[in-house]
């Protein structure tokens, strides 16, 4: 599932590629993804609206539109958004060699287009925002911005892991609420800190040298400081590398991220730890696999 770095990459891309564009049409073959209205009403309400900007909290994407509306998207397991020019420039027509972009778009994971927004930019050029989602778990909600903010699942979100207000002091306060909690579960709890999922909890805990099953109350002040620093360092590095594409995640050009090349423990079970040579282990924690080095992590 896309986590904070993947979603931030998508948000950055969308702000660069579709901000200021106007929605001229919408198509869907899977209207069940649209949560609060019929496909017909969704179409009617989104057409003619301008994209004012794109933002996120945790793993949730918000596309703010003119007229006080917001399009809320959760990518869930396999969803990803692709921005395509409707037509190739005339000079490129008839070429035999595919562009990098075309190669990426023809990749299997980018072929499951369930929804598509047709957009027009200031120059009158047409683009498409395609939503590929093989598993069809993604969620789309269009409503007034304040109503989106009031949604149960949005109100329940904790502070974003890269929010400037997420200070060490704030982190301490959050940990103090769950003294008996296991750190490997606490890190993934979106109601406490939003944005960290299965991939990054393993990487953050390895970086901090802390075992996933440590109880919060047993984690020392020095370890907490290290953990807090690791959250920022790992997530920022992953944003810089445009996320992890270990399965379906792709950016808006259809291209994979690069963080999978620098993973230290995630899905590395039965491989030697790069730091100490011990075998990396896997356990199930919070219904998902967690990966760790029993030597480097205490």
Interacting residues with Zn ion (CB under 5 A): 273, 275-276, 278, 293, 295-296
Residue 276 beta carbon to Zn ion: minimum distance, rounded to whole angstroms: 3
Is residue 290 within 8 A of residue 185, CB to CB? The reply is no
Integer Cα distance of 54 and 70 in angstroms: 9
Q: Tell me if residue 102 is catalytic.
A: no
Beta bridge partners of 50: 22
Q: How far is CA 46 from the centre of its chain?
A: 23
Looking at the Cβ atoms of 76 and 226, the one nearer to Zn ion is 226
Integer Cα distance of 1 and 198 in angstroms: 8
Residue 296 beta carbon to Zn ion: minimum distance, rounded to whole angstroms: 3
Q: Which of 3, 6, 45, 203 is catalytic?
A: 3
In three-state secondary structure terms, 3 is: coil
Q: Which of 136, 139, 283, 288 is catalytic?
A: 288
The torsion angle over the Cα atoms of residues 183, 155, 287 and 34, rounded to 10 degrees, is -150
Strands (E) located in the chain:
22-28, 51-57, 60-65, 69-74, 80-85, 113-120, 126-132, 139-144, 159-160, 193-194, 281-285, 288-292
Give the β-pairing of 139-144 and 126-132.
unpaired
CB count, 10 Å around CB of 179? Answer: 11
Q: Tell me if residue 2 is catalytic.
A: yes
Looking at the Cβ atoms of 140 and 296, the one nearer to Zn ion is 296
Closest-approach residue to Zn ion (CB)? 273
Looking at the Cβ atoms of 63 and 296, the one nearer to Zn ion is 296
Q: Tell me if residue 242 is catalytic.
A: no
Is residue 69 within 8 A of residue 44, CB to CB? The reply is no
Residue 281 beta carbon to Zn ion: minimum distance, rounded to whole angstroms: 10
Residue 272 beta carbon to Zn ion: minimum distance, rounded to whole angstroms: 8
Residue 259 beta carbon to Zn ion: minimum distance, rounded to whole angstroms: 19
Q: Tell me if residue 3 is catalytic.
A: yes
Looking at the Cβ atoms of 86 and 279, the one nearer to Zn ion is 279
Looking at the Cβ atoms of 161 and 234, the one nearer to Zn ion is 234
Residue 224 beta carbon to Zn ion: minimum distance, rounded to whole angstroms: 21
Give the β-pairing of 193-194 and 159-160.
parallel
Q: Which of 17, 49, 59, 201 is catalytic?
A: 59
Per-residue CA distances from 295 to 67, 115, 178, 211 (Å) = 56, 47, 26, 10
Tokens of 61: 């994407």
Looking at the Cβ atoms of 2 and 184, the one nearer to Zn ion is 184
In three-state secondary structure terms, 220 is: coil
Q: How far is CA 83 from the centre of its chain?
A: 16
The catalytic residues are 2-3, 59, 288
């Amino acid at each position: 599932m896309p986590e904070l770095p993947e979603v931030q990459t998508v948000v950055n891309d969308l702000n660069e590629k579709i901000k200021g564009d106007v929605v001229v049409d919408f198509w869907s073959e899977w209207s069940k993804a649209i949560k609060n209205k019929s496909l017909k009403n969704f179409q009617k309400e989104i057409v003619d609206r301008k994209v004012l900007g794109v933002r996120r909290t945790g793993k949730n994407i918000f596309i703010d539109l003119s007229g006080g509306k917001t399009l809320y998207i959760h990518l869930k397991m396999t969803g990803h958004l692709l921005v395509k020019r409707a037509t190739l420039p005339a000079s490129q027509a008839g070429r035999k060699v595919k562009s990098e972009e075309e190669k990426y778009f023809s990749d299997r994971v980018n072929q499951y287009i369930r929804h598509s927004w047709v957009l027009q930019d200031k120059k009158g050029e047409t683009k498409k925002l395609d939503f590929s989602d093989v598993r069809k778990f993604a969620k789309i909600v269009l409503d007034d911005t304040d109503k989106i903010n009031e949604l149960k699942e949005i109100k329940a979100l904790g502070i974003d892991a890269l929010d400037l207000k997420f200070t060490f002091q704030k982190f301490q306060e959050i940990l103090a609420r769950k003294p008996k909690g296991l750190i490997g579960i606490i890190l993934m709890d979106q109601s406490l800190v939003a944005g960290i999922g299965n991939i990054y909890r393993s990487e953050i805990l390895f970086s901090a040298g802390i075992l996933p099953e440590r109880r919060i109350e047993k984690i020392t002040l020095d370890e907490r400081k290290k953990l807090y620093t690791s959250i920022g360092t790992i997530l920022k590095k992953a944003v810089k590398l445009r996320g992890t594409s270990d399965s379906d995640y792709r950016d808006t050009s259809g291209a994979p991220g690069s963080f999978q090349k620098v993973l230290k423990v995630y899905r590395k079970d039965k491989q030697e730890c790069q730091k100490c040579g011990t075998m990396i282990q896997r356990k199930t924690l919070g219904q998902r696999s967690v990966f760790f080095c029993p030597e480097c992590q205490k």
